[in-house]
A = this chain, B = another copy of it.
Amino acid sequence: MQKQVEYAEAIKTKYPEQVVIAIAKDKDGKANPVTLGWTMIVSGAPPMMAIAVAKKHYSIQTIRHSKCFTIAFPSAQMADAALFFGSRSGRDVDKFAEFECETAPANEIDSVLLADAVANFECTLHSEAEAGDHIIFVGKVVCSHTNTEPKKRLYTVGPGHKLGSAS
């Protein structure tokens, strides 16, 4: 049976929620990673993925500048990196300089991959749309990569940025 509640209460039932790290270069060529929980696949053929990025985030500028971005699925071992990339702003710091996280150049776009991620998807920017306090960026996947070792994906498993695996 259902009971009406405040949205803030109801949305606590969303966990576990997948985590991705989106990466785009800014106008100075600095690759800027940001941790996001709001993401989905949006097309099968051609393959496309979407992310929702808070309007105040520096990543808005980096994605608009680059017109491309990487979507990485961090592994369950990458919780510390995900927390760091999600809690600092690329306006103030060079996140990859401050937090050790191995990267590799992307093949088809001007971005980087996360070497230890479960998978990386290189996306060209297809479109953007405004939605409340976020911008939805839709990317077309032009190149895909997986880890040579089997890894579990990282999830937010409960309120307060509690991270872990989900299976």
Contacts and interface: CB of A to CB of B under 8 A. Distances in A.
Given A38-B41, A40-B39, A50-B50, A13 B146 contact: yes
Given A10-B121, A13-B119, A2 B43 contact: no
A134 interface: yes
Q: How many copies does the complex hold?
A: 2
Interface residues of A, number: 64
Given A2-B120, A115-B1, A144 B38 contact: no
Contacts of A15: 153, 167
* A interface: dominant SS: strand
16 contacts: A2-B115, A5-B144, A7-B47, A7-B141, A10-B119, A11-B41, A13-B146, A15-B167, A38-B40, A42-B134, A42-B136, A44-B132, A44-B133, A46-B132, A136-B138, A166-B167
Q: Give the 9 A-B CB pairs with smallest separation, nearest first.
A: A43-B132, A10-B144, A2-B145, A42-B131, A40-B40, A42-B52, A13-B119, A7-B144, A7-B47
